[in-house]
Chains A and B, each alone.
Chain A
């Protein structure tokens, strides 16, 4: 069995002492970030990008992936105990998880969340292993027109399924693509938008962009927000769910895992969308929907499993096609490019140990979270009490040292400061940074594939419609756009994101 050989290879890579250590560091840092309010996984990944220069490509990605799903775990801990979503995908967890905690079932809620997430993580890791090979086979037959259409689909999907204004998100994507074009034009050698600066000849550095517009801007936003005091529930009795609670959560966990795995595949998908969808479904299926919002076990178990499943399967389009479906994946693609790896279907063929190592490490990481986190809950709760006024100078220092250590270049730091300055302006006018980063990552590929396609098609754009795969991808894109225009979907989209 090819699948088993692949998984064995993966576990042998992920099981090396160094990679186990990096995985552990990743999930611990991730949990810490998920627990601490005011640092999300995206900001944290951006801050830690410079560290990856000192690691092997496999080790770097194992650690960064660990941070991502570790943050999901940490986020649900704070959601349950403090009613404060440590990061966006655990907003739903607050609804019923915190109510359970207030009724004295905090330990049980934490255990259900952790076990549900572990189940979802195991299933979706297997799913990645099964789906990855055929998907990259298909992708290997792709030519320029197919890639162009695929990237377009990825970008449009990210816009439709993301929160906030669609027009503004498109604007941010276009702007991101433009920023991605800065530097030497690959096909003609012309220097574009460099203003004669030698630093810009190789383009804008991804680390400075991500760190500035996501990491440092986040500090500004947190300081601008007024601090709210919340009730911390630190009394945790038994960690074991009662028999009824366990029974009630089996169905939601399985359904949540399924729905999350599917939604995670979509561009723009991932944990947030999955947890909302699962909550809505459980509420519809419940005999007595009024219990929801008052500590219903189903309303906790379903979304918690769904967000972890979605977070894991969103790796599939990134690893097999090289298309990041959300900001976290964009940062991981950036990390791969820093290591000199062009993400795409070739990665699996040419570097199977990298590909399968990451997948195996995700399962190991999930198991670690289960074993390590439940006993450490007391520690995480005490960390919650660290005030942001002490945290924020430390984060600023990490950003500064991190950005500087990449090239030991002072200009890089100016870029970070500039992007942070701009990032706050964008945020104030209702524009998100995530589409800009996605556009930046996909921009150069988009332009190159467009140009090549036009050469192949002799200047006729019909080439995109004459090739079946490209046509199918563009049809999907059109369907997504249609959804946005249709009033019914628009309304439900607003309902889903109203809490943001």
Chain B
């Protein structure tokens, strides 16, 4: 039965990137070896990625390839979301709201999550960060949503 391991999965990933790069590069002029144009180097690099992908996929068939291991789904999805939450709130909701949302989401990605403790931490840290950045350093951000 086919199973993803670290090698063939990496191969698939590089293969995907290589293909996309080659396809996209075809819209740029290739040039010659003497006068390389915009598409030359990316096409060569894309081809290299595909060669690497093939090597890795072949290596993936050997039994020595390491298994992928458990995916930590929760932090993998929640930590980047904490950055996204900050981006969505910082201009409309102000630094305090954005910061608290960011910190709570990041905290929620761990295994031990206690609401009270994390809310206190988030408020304290974001509050002092806002004082530092807006009051002391004068960065162009706002504390709270402008109403």
Task: Give the total of A residues in contact with B, Cβ under 8 Å.
Answer: 60
- Are A430 and B66 in contact, CB atoms less than 8 angstroms apart? yes
Q: Give the CA-CA distance A224 to B55 in the complex, in Å.
A: 29
Cβ of A245 under 8 Å from chain B: no
Q: A171-B53, A181-B42, A219-B75 are in contact. List 14 more A-B contacts (CB 8 A).
A: A175-B14, A188-B38, A192-B38, A193-B24, A389-B107, A392-B107, A394-B121, A394-B125, A397-B102, A400-B82, A401-B133, A429-B9, A430-B10, A454-B35
Q: Output the residue of A165, A170, A193, A224 with the most chain B CB within 10 A.
A: A224
Given A174-B49, A181-B41, A396-B83, A459 contacting B10 (CB threshold 8 A): no
Q: Which residues of B contact A (CB under 8 A)?
A: 6-7, 9-10, 13-14, 17, 21, 24-25, 28-29, 32-38, 40-42, 45-46, 48-49, 52-53, 55-56, 59, 66, 68-69, 71-72, 74-76, 79-84, 86-88, 90-91, 95, 98-99, 102-107, 109-113, 117-118, 121-122, 125-126, 129, 133, 137, 139-141
- Are B106 and A393 in contact, CB atoms less than 8 angstroms apart? yes
Q: Give the CA-CA distance A410 to B66 in the complex, in Å.
A: 38
Whole-angstrom distance from the CB of A320 to the nearest CB of chain B? 27
Q: Give the CA-CA distance A399 to B72 in the complex, in Å.
A: 21
- Are B83 and A413 in contact, CB atoms less than 8 angstroms apart? yes
**B residues near A181, Cβ cutoff 8 Å:** 41-42, 45
Cβ of A223 under 8 Å from chain B: yes
CB-CB contacts of A167-183 with B at 8 A, as 1s and 0s? 11011001101100100
Please give me the 9 A-B residue pairs with the lowest Cβ-Cβ distance, nearest first.
A459-B34, A224-B72, A396-B106, A413-B87, A393-B103, A223-B75, A190-B38, A429-B10, A400-B86
Whole-angstrom distance from the CB of A166 to the nearest CB of chain B? 10
- Are B87 and A417 in contact, CB atoms less than 8 angstroms apart? yes
- Are B122 and A428 in contact, CB atoms less than 8 angstroms apart? no
Whole-angstrom distance from the CB of B22 to the nearest CB of chain A? 10
- Are A454 and B36 in contact, CB atoms less than 8 angstroms apart? yes
10 contacts between A and B (CB under 8 A): A185-B38, A401-B99, A405-B139, A416-B83, A421-B76, A421-B80, A425-B13, A451-B36, A459-B33, A461-B33
Cβ of A147 under 8 Å from chain B: no
Given A170-B52, A393-B121, A410-B91, A450 contacting B41 (CB threshold 8 A): yes
Q: Give the CA-CA distance A322 to B86 in the complex, in Å.
A: 35
Given A174-B48, A410-B87, A459-B34, A428 contacting B68 (CB threshold 8 A): yes
**A residues near B49, Cβ cutoff 8 Å:** 171, 174-175, 178
Nearest residue (CB) in B for A218 is: B79
Nearest residue (CB) in B for A192 is: B38
Nearest residue (CB) in A for B91 is: A410
Cβ of A216 under 8 Å from chain B: yes
- Are B52 and A420 in contact, CB atoms less than 8 angstroms apart? no
Cβ of A390 under 8 Å from chain B: yes
Looking at the complex, which one of A389, A393, A424, A454 makes contact with B125 (CB distance below 8 Å)?
A: A393
Interface of A is mostly: helix
Cβ of A240 under 8 Å from chain B: no
Looking at the complex, which one of B10, B84, B109, B111 makes contact with A417 (CB distance below 8 Å)?
A: B84
CB-CB contacts of A45-74 with B at 8 A, as 1s and 0s? 000000000100000000000000000000
CB-CB contacts of A105-117 with B at 8 A, as 1s and 0s? 0000000000000
Q: Give the CA-CA distance A405 to B98 in the complex, in Å.
A: 14
- Are B84 and A414 in contact, CB atoms less than 8 angstroms apart? yes
Q: Give the CA-CA distance A175 to B16 in the complex, in Å.
A: 11
Cβ of A403 under 8 Å from chain B: yes
- Are B79 and A216 in contact, CB atoms less than 8 angstroms apart? yes
Interface residues of A in 429-451 (CB under 8 A from B): 429-431, 447, 450-451
Whole-angstrom distance from the CB of A220 to the nearest CB of chain B? 5
- Are B28 and A389 in contact, CB atoms less than 8 angstroms apart? no
**A residues near B28, Cβ cutoff 8 Å:** 185, 190, 192
**B residues near A405, Cβ cutoff 8 Å:** 133, 139
Whole-angstrom distance from the CB of B141 to the nearest CB of chain A? 8
Cβ of A103 under 8 Å from chain B: no
- Are B17 and A175 in contact, CB atoms less than 8 angstroms apart? yes
- Are A223 and B72 in contact, CB atoms less than 8 angstroms apart? yes
Given A167-B56, A401-B99, A388 contacting B110 (CB threshold 8 A): yes
- Are A414 and B87 in contact, CB atoms less than 8 angstroms apart? yes
Given A216-B79, A403-B83, A408 contacting B140 (CB threshold 8 A): yes
Nearest residue (CB) in B for A400 is: B86
Given A190-B28, A430-B10, A447-B41, A397 contacting B99 (CB threshold 8 A): yes
